[in-house]
């Protein structure tokens, strides 16, 4: 199992997506996820097919949620956004595409950061 896969599975099996999941340090896990993807020679972008969201939806949704909820340049949430920004470069796009598959991930993460 790759590092990306194990981090992705920790996030997907956490209380973020599972009623019986354990609590995690989401900002740290997202930072680790971005760094893991960047360090691998090849990433399985099909991770999560059949789950609530797949790897690319999680990364993009988290990136957009973090643009709205990071706590400044010295925060763990900003570090997570920057780590994911190594993988996802939005260019001139302004937020997730409405009715896209990543909207669910964005909304789940947005609600998490809103309440934490």
Query: What is the H or E stretch that residue 104 is in?
Result: helix 103-115
Lowest mean pLDDT among 18-22, 32-36, 88-92: 88-92
Residues belonging to the chain? 116
Q: What is the pLDDT of residue 1?
A: 59
Q: Are 17 and 48 in contact (CB under 8 A)?
A: no
Start-to-end C-alpha separation, the chain? 30
> Token pair for residue 62?
């988290």
Q: Where residue 20 falls among pLDDT bands split at 50, 70, 90?
A: very high
Rounded to two decimals, the pTM is 0.91
Tell me the percentage of the chain whose pLDDT exceeds 90: 72
Comparing C-alpha atoms, which of 20, 38, 23, 116 is closest to residue 76? 116
- Round to whole Å and give the CA distance between 79 and 66: 10
């Amino acid at each position: 199992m790759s590092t990306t896969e194990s981090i992705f599975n920790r996030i997907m099996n956490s209380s973020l997506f599972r009623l019986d999941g354990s609590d995690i340090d989401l900002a740290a896990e997202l930072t680790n996820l971005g760094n893991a993807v960047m360090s691998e020679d090849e990433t399985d972008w099909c991770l999560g097919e059949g789950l609530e969201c797949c790897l690319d939806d999680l990364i993009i949704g988290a990136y957009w949620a973090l643009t709205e909820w990071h706590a400044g340049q010295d925060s763990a949430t900003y570090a997570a956004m920057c780590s994911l920004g190594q993988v996802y470069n939005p260019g001139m796009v302004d937020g997730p595409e409405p009715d896209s598959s990543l909207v669910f991930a964005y909304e789940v993460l947005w609600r998490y950061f809103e309440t934490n």
